[in-house]
């Protein structure tokens, strides 16, 4: 087993990896920016090192600074988490060249799957069905127009070098192609430093279903069944669940087999995910994520497998702990992403200080978060505060448990996505599993700026508390007749 690991990330994923490592007796090293000096992942690590200012490009994305900390702390391995450097082939290569173990797939695998056009070529060659479209980048407006007409409208222009909805444009007619091509190229260049785009058929109301994979250095590859991630906002997932409400045993077997073929085609080692679009009873390869996913906890709850533990065992050279037929599938799990956004105001990002924090608990409830009371929420990083996960014997029970847990979650000082997620738990189509990637646009009432009675009571309580604190502030003594109210210890210090 590895004796030490540097976690090259922050927030809830850094804390998740640190806890998993410590349970295996692995010494943990955290890195942090100046903005994250007091973050929970820093407090829980055995050692922690500042790698720069708040700007990610000068801290969490600064490869030379992270490798310098790894050298100084004598870290045997580096775990990238997800986001930031997790899917950068050059980072994986630099880690290995510096003499450390990279907890993830090889640099060549990351590069192959990071280029969406090369990924499509490899999957097609491996017999994995891909969405009809081009397998090479488009060179001009004219080429894009010809390709779109050949594939058939509607089509989507997509960035070859990235994902997450960046560099993506839906085109419904030939007259839209030129402008959409220019916009996709510009956005792709800005987001990924690569303006390459390709075209594929646009599936109007697909379900987004992904398969969790794991490979080791001994040639073993298994899948850990599927997750449904169809409820999204601008291609960003909001709710995930396992298993999918519509996938039966035979289709589960076929999708799992396709994902394993995909992994073998690129000699996959470690945790990864093959994402599919599912429409009209068919499924098509979308992309492969060469890392642990945000939504991995739902797979852990329905299989009983600790995916972070498996990552460390595989990185240590051990074979996979279970064979395919030994991996169970039991019950149902849901995950809600709790973000610092105002869903009823166009999902505007929100800043502030967390002045109240109380996660729910009880049977079948799990909170994976990276915040605590006093955490400062800024605009430097992704707005994900944490994930609320529930498990029950069936989907109906998991949904009802999630509704209860969302109602008990208390995060004060910043607006979050929790009220919207609570509404979704009550929505009939969601409760019956009638989902697609068009779910939110087709249910605009969920985003209407109208509060439920529970939300109204919470707002009234919050406003009353705020007014009470303002009155206390006005009554508190101040230094020199102005400035900030004194705390109790300041009052005692100043006599």
Note the pLDDT of residue 470: 59
Look at residue 477 and tell me whether its pLDDT is greater than 80: no
Question: Domain span at residue 83?
Answer: 4-103
Query: Is the domain of 44 the same as that of 177?
Result: no
For position 171, which CATH number holds? 3.30.1490.20
Query: Is the domain of 382 the same as that of 242?
Result: yes
Query: Is the domain of 402 the same as that of 329?
Result: yes
Structure tokens at 190: 């800005």
Which of 27, 76, 233, 291 is catalytic? The answer is 291
What number of CA atoms fall less than 13 Å from residue 159's CA on the CB side?
A: 22
Q: Which band of pLDDT confidence, cut at 50, 70 and 90, is reported for residue 384?
A: very high
Contacts from 59-64 at CB under 8 Å and sequence distance 24+? 59/31, 59/32, 59/33, 59/34, 60/8, 60/9, 60/10, 60/31, 60/33, 60/84, 60/85, 61/85, 63/90, 63/91, 63/94
Note the pLDDT of residue 464: 60
Q: Closest by alpha carbon to 119, among 286, 283, 282?
A: 286
**Could you give the CA distance from residue 216 to residue 314 in angstroms, rounded to a whole number?**
6
Look at residue 488 and tell me whether its pLDDT is greater than 60: no
DSSP 175: G
Query: Is the domain of 395 the same as that of 485?
Result: no
Rg of the Cα trace of the chain? Answer: 24
74 is catalytic: no
Query: Is the domain of 301 the same as that of 326?
Result: yes
Contact criterion met (CB below 8 Å) for 262 and 285: yes
**Could you give the CA distance from residue 395 to residue 332 in angstroms, rounded to a whole number?**
5
Look at residue 495 and tell me whether its pLDDT is greater than 90: no
For position 47, which CATH number holds? 3.40.50.20
Query: Is the domain of 396 the same as that of 374?
Result: yes
What is the percent of the chain with per-residue pLDDT over 90, rounded to a whole number?
Answer: 84
Query: Is the domain of 350 the same as that of 317?
Result: yes
Query: Is the domain of 412 the same as that of 280?
Result: yes
- Cα-based angle 465, 466, 469 (whole degrees, multiple of 5): 85
- Cα-based angle 441, 447, 450 (whole degrees, multiple of 5): 150
Q: Taking the mean position of all CA atoms in its chain, how far away is CA 486?
A: 41
Number of domains in the chain: 4
Q: Which band of pLDDT confidence, cut at 50, 70 and 90, is reported for residue 332?
A: very high
Q: Which band of pLDDT confidence, cut at 50, 70 and 90, is reported for residue 493?
A: very low
Query: Is the domain of 165 the same as that of 250?
Result: no
What number of CA atoms fall less than 13 Å from residue 100's CA on the CB side?
A: 30
| pLDDT averaged over every residue in the chain | 91
Contact criterion met (CB below 8 Å) for 75 and 45: no
Residue 119 domain-assigned? no
Note the pLDDT of residue 204: 87
**Could you give the CA distance from residue 24 to residue 254 in angstroms, rounded to a whole number?**
34
Look at residue 481 and tell me whether its pLDDT is greater than 50: no
The partner residues of 157 in beta bridges, in order of sequence, read 169, 199
**Could you give the CA distance from residue 371 to residue 383 in angstroms, rounded to a whole number?**
11
**Could you give the CA distance from residue 371 to residue 217 in angstroms, rounded to a whole number?**
36
CB atoms within 10 A of CB 333: 28
Contact criterion met (CB below 8 Å) for 117 and 135: yes
Query: Is the domain of 219 the same as that of 98?
Result: no
**Could you give the CA distance from residue 130 to residue 151 in angstroms, rounded to a whole number?**
13
**Could you give the CA distance from residue 258 to residue 102 in angstroms, rounded to a whole number?**
26
The partner residues of 412 in beta bridges, in order of sequence, read 356
Last residue of a domain, one of 430, 447, 464: 447
Q: Which band of pLDDT confidence, cut at 50, 70 and 90, is reported for residue 490?
A: very low
């Amino acid at each position: 087993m590895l004796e030490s690991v540097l976690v090259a990330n922050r927030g809830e994923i850094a804390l998740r990896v640190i806890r998993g490592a410590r349970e295996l007796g692995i010494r943990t090293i955290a890195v942090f920016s100046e903005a994250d000096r007091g973050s929970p992942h820093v407090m829980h690590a055995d050692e922690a090192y500042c790698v720069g200012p708040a700007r990610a490009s000068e801290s969490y994305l600064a490869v030379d600074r992270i490798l310098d900390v790894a050298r100084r702390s004598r870290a045997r391995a580096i775990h990238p988490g997800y986001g930031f450097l997790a899917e950068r082939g050059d980072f994986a290569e630099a880690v290995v060249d510096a003499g450390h173990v990279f907890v993830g797939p090889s640099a060549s695998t990351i590069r192959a799957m990071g280029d969406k056009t090369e990924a499509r070529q490899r999957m097609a060659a491996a017999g994995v069905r891909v969405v009809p479209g081009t397998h090479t980048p488009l060179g001009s407006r004219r080429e894009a127009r010809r390709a779109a007409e050949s594939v058939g409208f509607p089509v989507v222009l997509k960035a070859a070098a990235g994902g997450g909805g960046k560099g993506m444009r839906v085109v419904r007619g030939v007259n839209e192609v030129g402008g959409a091509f220019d916009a996709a190229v510009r956005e792709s260049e800005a987001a990924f430093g690569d303006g390459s785009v390709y075209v594929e058929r646009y599936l109007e109301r697909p379900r987004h279903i992904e398969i969790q994979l794991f490979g080791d250095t001994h040639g073993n590859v298994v899948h850990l069944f599927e997750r449904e991630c169809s409820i999204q906002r601008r291609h960003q997932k909001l709710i995930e669940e396992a298993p999918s409400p519509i996938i039966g045993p035979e289709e589960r077997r076929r999708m799992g087999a396709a994902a394993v073929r995909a992994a073998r085609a690129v000699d996959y080692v470690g945790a990864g995910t093959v994402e599919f679009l599912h429409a009209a009873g068919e499924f098509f390869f979308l992309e492969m994520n060469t890392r642990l996913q945000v939504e991995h906890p739902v797979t852990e709850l329905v299989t009983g497998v600790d995916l972070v533990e498996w990552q460390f065992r595989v990185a240590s050279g051990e074979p996979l702990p279970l064979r395919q037929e030994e991996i169970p599938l039991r019950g149902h799990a849901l995950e809600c992403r709790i973000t610092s956004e105002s869903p009823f105001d166009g999902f505007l990002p929100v800043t502030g200080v967390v002045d109240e924090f109380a996660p729910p608990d009880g049977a079948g409830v799990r909170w994976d978060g990276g915040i605590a009371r006093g955490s400062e929420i800024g605009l430097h990083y992704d707005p994900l505060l944490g994930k609320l996960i529930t498990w029950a014997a069936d989907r109906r029970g998991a949904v009802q448990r999630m509704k209860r847990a969302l109602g008990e979650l208390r995060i004060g000082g910043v607006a979050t996505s929790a009220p919207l997620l609570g509404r979704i738990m009550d929505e009939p189509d969601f409760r019956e599993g009638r989902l697609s990637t068009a779910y939110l646009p087709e249910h605009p009432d969920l985003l209407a700026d109208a509060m439920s009675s529970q939300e109204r009571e919470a707002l009234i309580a919050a406003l009353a508390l705020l007014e009470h604190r303002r009155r206390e502030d006005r009554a508190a003594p101040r230094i020199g007749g102005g400035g900030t109210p004194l705390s109790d210890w300041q009052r005692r210090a100043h006599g």
